[in-house]
Structure 1
Amino acid sequence: MEKAQFKTKKAILFSLLSFIGLNLILQVYFKSLTLDEQMHIAAGLSYLKDWKISINVEHPPLVKVISSIFPYLANEISLPSYNDFKPYKGWSLLLWSIDSIKTNFSNLDLLTFETRIFPILLTLILGYLIYKAAKELFGEVVGLIALFIYCFEPTFLGHGKLVHTDVPSALFYFWYFYTLYKIYNKPCYKGFIYLSIIFGLAIVTKFSMLILVPTYLFVVVNIIFKKDWKRYCKILPLMAFIPWFIIATLYFFRISRLSENEARLLIKWLYLPTEC
């Protein structure tokens, strides 16, 4: 009886994940690239080609890079000069992105599918994590109910396939606190390493994930002041190195001064005074 129930629950789990996965894949052919996607894809191609982050810098590079891997490997990429489009001011990035895509890709349907593979995979991972966390907290049935709600939630059905930062950032945000919860219940070296990796990936997914920094620092301070701190202090150098390495790798180990446009964006986002 228990074995039959186990098989039934696993079948429901597989069916729900298959439903949202197939739903997102089929949507790929019914929804063309959005304006933001075109800019993210073109920027990702430029990152892989030039090994530097100089375009569309208002978003971290992770989603743009992984979504552009397949089209970059399958084609000989030749991008127009971004400087030629700067006179168009507010429209320069969009016009450059459209021209970049038209220049390099004749089959836009194939490009759309290739670039949306990784976003769909991340959406599936988020669904499985929601199921797993709910199952550990409240049992198998609640886990399946949580996954059912997720699979029919319009936001994820609509955005889960797009080359945007929203769903990936939701994934790493949720994954971070799920890992933190597991560490709280059972501290271990492996858990701290996982937390460091997820923290680094979150930071290079969306700038608003900087909200995780205080909690990460709290974890570090908590390790230092634990009674058995000598047992876990060995992990502290890795907890500093791993996020730095992930961030540095995605930015191709390049540090440059802020451009005029970047400085203007920071002033706007942080509500800084424009005059001293």
Structure 2
Amino acid sequence: MNRTATAIAAFCRAVIRRVCTPVGERWAVVLLLATQAGLLGYSATQHSPTFLEPAILASGISHWKFGRFEPYRVNPPLVRMVAALPVMAIGCKTDWDRFHEYPGSRAEFALGEDFIHANGRRSLYLICLARWACIPFSLAGSYFTYRWAKELYGGGAGVFSLVLYICEPNLLAHGELITSDAACTAFFIIAAYTYWQWLRSPTWTRATLAGGGLGIAQLAKTSSLILIGLWPVLWILWNTLKPRTQQLLQQPASNSRDPHIPPASFHTSATSHYFQFATIIIIPLYIINIGYGFDGFGVRLKDYTFVSSMLTGLNNPGESGNRFRQTLAGQIPVPLPRQYIMGLDIQKRDFEDFGEPSYLRGEWRTVVGGITIFMVSR
């Protein structure tokens, strides 16, 4: 038993020594990413489509064909548009007869059913192709996990973090699908990494990259909205808690009798820092609008028809209205695409009343919001 344990320990030490060399580290990263791609690619061929995938794929095709973003508007279109590319390249049958549009409508599920009916058994092959197109999202998340950990703690930590990311069951399960969860996770990491780089060493190049990372994350899933609120908090904490080495520039030397004049670059850099942060927050607005082709940009708030109680001001979720219609705020043009705003409203309506009973803590309940279930499950 002791000999076996000693042999295993010696083998592990030898592997670590090999991996910790620059060449070994590079090969380890390449092999691990190739393994991840293989696992996800194989899983995509073996598992049947989920309930959401036909609706997502049909919606992505509709975005390209018609330039409309009503189908599946509860999430931004980036992932499903990427998923639709190989399917459109080889050709598929579509049926749009059941498309409908009214306040709160979700036509994507009917479109998904009709897509399956139109393509028959071939739809399994088409969905597999769409899944393969989304594998690079997971690979990007893996790579930036490795890179961030390496910059923090060294190459060994980077490889170890990469192994953990690749082997995480939820990431393996969602990474093979065309749903937006795996892509959202990857873009969360990329956005956080680029923002961290800017916080450490603010430059205009890094500010632009951080804004771009934050913007792409917004196009992956509406969950990424939390970053828009989180980034200012982290910025304030970073500038409050970090060592204030800049203060040394304002202090005269102890043996100097001349009045000290702070260098002009000190104030310039501080001003530049504020403008860079503003740029990081503004760039995502532009990227979101690009993702929707600026469809419905600048529509006044009063011209929307909402269905969530929060935005209608009515007691019944699903009843249409607009609480801002007769207010001064209603005159404000919204600097976001119309269907992006409508998607947020519909998602909020679903949280308020999904229309189906929910099972929570041993009981079927008629009114339990998705937020409540999420918080309890944590």
TM-score by length of 1: 0.83
**Aligned counterpart, 2:260:** none
**Aligned counterpart, 2:290:** 249
Q: Distance in 1 between matches of 2:206 and 2:120?
A: 43
Match of residue 100, structure 1, among 96, 103, 115: 115
Q: Distance in 1 between matches of 2:125 and 2:200?
A: 46
**Aligned counterpart, 1:178:** 193
Give aligned-pair identity as a percent: 21
Deviation for aligned residue 1:119: 2.0
> CA distance change for structure 1 residues 4 and 181 in 2, over 3 Å: closer, same or farther?
closer
Q: Which is worse superposed, 41-50 or 90-99?
A: 90-99
Number of residue pairs the alignment of both structures matches = 269
Name the one with the larger helix percent. Answer: 1
Match of residue 115, structure 1, among 123, 130, 141: 130
Cα RMSD of the aligned pairs, angstroms, is 3.4
Deviation for aligned residue 1:233: 5.8
Q: Which is worse superposed, 108-117 or 58-67?
A: 108-117
**Aligned counterpart, 2:351:** 269
Q: Distance in 2 between matches of 1:3 and 1:251?
A: 44
Q: Distance in 2 between matches of 1:2 and 1:250?
A: 44
User: Which runs of 5 or more residues in structure 2 are unaligned?
Assistant: 1-16, 238-265, 308-317, 319-341, 354-378
| 8 Å Cα contact 1:192-1:239 kept in structure 2 | yes
1:17 is the counterpart of 2:58: no
Q: Distance in 1 between matches of 2:290 and 2:193?
A: 25
Deviation for aligned residue 1:250: 1.7
Amino acid across the alignment from 1:253: F
**Aligned counterpart, 1:274:** none
SS at match of 1:169: helix
Match of residue 126, structure 1, among 141, 166, 172: 141
Match of residue 231, structure 1, among 272, 276, 291: 272
Q: Distance in 1 between matches of 2:132 and 2:19?
A: 35
Match of residue 75, structure 2, among 43, 59, 62: 59
> CA distance change for structure 1 residues 79 and 85 in 2, over 3 Å: closer, same or farther?
farther
User: Which runs of 5 or more residues in structure 1 are unaligned?
Assistant: 272-276
| 8 Å Cα contact 2:214-2:227 kept in structure 1 | yes
Deviation for aligned residue 1:219: 7.8
Deviation for aligned residue 1:36: 0.9
| 8 Å Cα contact 2:59-2:111 kept in structure 1 | no
Bigger Rg, which one: 2
SS at match of 1:151: helix
Amino acid across the alignment from 1:5: T
Q: Distance in 1 between matches of 2:215 and 2:101?
A: 33
SS at match of 1:196: helix
Deviation for aligned residue 1:113: 3.0
Match of residue 173, structure 2, among 158, 177, 187: 158
Q: Distance in 2 between matches of 1:117 and 1:181?
A: 30
**Aligned counterpart, 2:155:** 140
Q: Distance in 2 between matches of 1:45 and 1:213?
A: 29
SS at match of 2:71: coil
